A and B are shown apart, each in its own frame.
Chain A
Amino acid sequence: MINLHNVTKTYPPNTVAIKNVSFEVKPGEFVSIVGQSGTGKSTVMKLLIAEELATEGQVKIGGWDITRIRSAAVPALRRQIGVVFQDLKLLPSMTAYENVAFALQVVGAPSQRISEVVPQVLKIVGLEDKTDRYPIQLSGGEAQRVVIARALVHRPKLFLADEPTGNLDTLNTREIIDILTKINSFGTTVVLVTHNREVVNQLRRRVIAMDHGEIISDQENGKYTL
């Protein structure tokens, strides 16, 4: 599903965010990426959705070489990937339902499909009874679940979550992780970036640890070892 080969990313003028990173993720895997702040975890995620392009090396998604992807092809790539990013919040002027629907509207989905898919994904995250609430009327955990629902509208084969539990307490964190596990159980490949030791240890899935832009360990049934 994901194939990085000797990837280096240098931000202009000379910040080397990741160096010589190679790893492969098979379809259906659940991988956590852990590491100190500033070690390039988000950079890896951005390379996977072509938000940034690799300076060296090769990036492949589902066999598609996106290393030098044309900007016109980027939307097609992103319609196959569900993304939850730190800085991508809900739109405050829209209800939970509208926020999710918006993601479908802007890709030209027909209204009928929207009214079909939106309740489905809101149900997956367990918010079918709060669809008319505005973000301000939702708890942090609920809001984050709406964000996840929004990332699911394209039925992605690949789901990327960059610190989805950022500011959440233990209970809410559990809920979010449970949802990610559920998504993974549908067959979707999940890549999770997290700082949270408990999360990683409870998941008992593959863990890639990074430090200073390099992979320092990559283990099945990994533990948080930093």
Chain B
Amino acid sequence: MFLSLARVSKLALQQFHRNLWLSIATISLLMLSLLSINLIIVLGAVGQAAKLAVQDKIDVSVYFKSKVDNEQVEEIRADLLKLNEVSAVEYIPKEGSLARFKERHKDDPVILESLQELNENPFGATLAVKAKDSEQYPRIIAFLEDAKYEDLIEEKNFDDHEFVIKKINALMRNIRTFGLTVASIFGLIAILVVINTVRVAVYTHRGEIGVMRLVGASNWFIRGPFLFEALIFSFTATVLTAAVVYLGFNFAQPYLNNLFEGIKLSLTSYYNSNAATIFGLQFLAIFFLTAVSSFFAVRRYLKV
């Protein structure tokens, strides 16, 4: 068993070597399909980070009328916190709203002066509500639309961010579709190339194969070198892809650092923590692909 394995792998290496250029072409195509898959993964991670960055900034700001006193607002806050969808509610009392306003307009003397002329604080308290998920905001808004709050609330705003999230989601969907299309095209080409590679290998080894068949080598022994070659192809393509991917990260990381304020996106550490899964699955997928193509190509050209 072990002996046969050694002999099969020797034949496979010989086969790989004899059709070196074809082997390189095959591996390159497998790499292209793997790279496009990794691009989807990376863009997915970037998109996720972008979503988090935006989501972090989103809240529903509820501005209460100035006649509403702080205790009432505290009660509403408690009600909101009871909602499943709500993750946090920041409470800014009347005084805080005033201070915020002053801070925001500190360079605008006209506004500050007119504020001075009013005798009392014109602002009501503010609640900044954060949802657990960006899709849950509409329900929070609906909750606040209840008639019993109508008199108390001056204004609530939300829209902008939802739009951005929708945009990001749509973009990510498009990227994924596009990436999968590209990956499938490369995958398809890779299958055709593998089939052709096997055909050429069968042709260049017709002497050996003829002898093997007539002296009674088992079908698996005849197929072995081709399967082993598929293994070499897949393994090499996966390792080289991983190398290219990590190299790419080194170049991209400086740009990513400044991409989203507040969110640190390290692709390297994202990949590191998932490397076994990401590359393991990619290797298995591509080995499955090449092995099956090779299996059928051998059957087609060998009658085994």
Chain A interfacial positions (CB closer than 8 Å to B) = 49, 71-72, 74-80, 83, 85, 87-89, 91-92, 102-108, 110-111, 150-151, 153-154
Most buried by B among A71, A72, A75: A75
Could you show 27 A-B contacts with beta carbons less than 8 Å apart? Answer: A49-B214, A74-B216, A75-B217, A75-B219, A77-B216, A78-B213, A78-B214, A79-B215, A83-B214, A87-B210, A88-B214, A89-B207, A102-B208, A103-B215, A104-B215, A105-B7, A106-B212, A106-B215, A106-B217, A106-B222, A107-B217, A108-B1, A108-B3, A108-B4, A110-B3, A150-B211, A154-B216
- CB pair A72 B214 closer than 8 Å: no
Chain B interfacial positions (CB closer than 8 Å to A) = 1, 3-4, 7, 207-208, 210-219, 221-222, 304
Contact partners of B212 in chain A: CB under 8 A: 106
Contact partners of A108 in chain B: CB under 8 A: 1, 3-4, 7, 218, 221
Question: Which residue on B lies nearest to A108, using beta carbons?
Answer: B4
Q: Given A75-B216, A106-B222, output 10 extra A-B contacts at Cβ < 8 Å.
A: A74-B216, A78-B214, A78-B216, A79-B216, A87-B210, A88-B214, A91-B208, A104-B215, A106-B7, A107-B218
Q: Given A108-B3, A108-B4, A111-B3, do A72 and B219 touch, yes or no (CB 8 Å)?
A: yes
- CB pair A107 B214 closer than 8 Å: no
Q: Tally inter-chain residue pairs, CB-CB below 8 A.
A: 62
Contact partners of A87 in chain B: CB under 8 A: 210
Question: Which residue on B lies nearest to A106, using beta carbons?
Answer: B217
CB distance from A85 to the nearest CB of B (A): 7
Question: Which residue on B lies nearest to A49, using beta carbons?
Answer: B214
CB distance from A40 to the nearest CB of B (A): 20
Pick the residue among A75, A80, A103 that contacts B211 (CB under 8 A): A103
Q: Given A71-B304, A106-B221, A110-B3, do A78 and B215 touch, yes or no (CB 8 Å)?
A: yes
CB distance from B205 to the nearest CB of A (A): 9
Most buried by B among A76, A85, A106: A106
CB distance from B61 to the nearest CB of A (A): 74
Contact partners of B7 in chain A: CB under 8 A: 105-106, 108
- CB pair B211 A91 closer than 8 Å: yes
CB distance from A22 to the nearest CB of B (A): 26
Contact partners of B208 in chain A: CB under 8 A: 91, 102
Q: Given A107-B221, A111-B3, do A85 and B216 touch, yes or no (CB 8 Å)?
A: no
- CB pair B215 A150 closer than 8 Å: yes
Most buried by A among B3, B214, B219: B214
CB distance from B11 to the nearest CB of A (A): 9
- CB pair B219 A91 closer than 8 Å: no
Contact partners of B214 in chain A: CB under 8 A: 49, 78, 83, 85, 88
Q: Could you tell me the distance between the alpha carbons of A222 and B294 in the complex, rounded to whole angstroms?
A: 50
CB distance from A79 to the nearest CB of B (A): 4
Question: Which residue on B lies nearest to A72, using beta carbons?
Answer: B219
Q: Could you tell me the distance between the alpha carbons of A88 and B218 in the complex, rounded to whole angstroms?
A: 18
- CB pair B3 A76 closer than 8 Å: no
Contact partners of B222 in chain A: CB under 8 A: 106
Pick the residue among A71, A92, A107, A110 that contacts B215 (CB under 8 A): A107
Contact partners of B217 in chain A: CB under 8 A: 75, 106-107
Question: Which residue on B lies nearest to A74, using beta carbons?
Answer: B216
Q: Could you tell me the distance between the alpha carbons of A87 and B211 in the complex, rounded to whole angstroms?
A: 10
Q: Given A106-B7, A108-B3, do A88 and B210 touch, yes or no (CB 8 Å)?
A: yes
Contact partners of B221 in chain A: CB under 8 A: 106-108
Q: Could you tell me the distance between the alpha carbons of A91 and B206 in the complex, rounded to whole angstroms?
A: 10
Q: Could you tell me the distance between the alpha carbons of A122 and B59 in the complex, rounded to whole angstroms?
A: 89
Pick the residue among A71, A89, A92, A107 that contacts B216 (CB under 8 A): A107
Q: Which 10 pairs from chain A and chain B are nearest by CB? A: A78-B216, A79-B216, A106-B217, A75-B216, A103-B215, A106-B212, A108-B4, A91-B207, A75-B218, A83-B214
Question: Which residue on B lies nearest to A80, using beta carbons?
Answer: B216
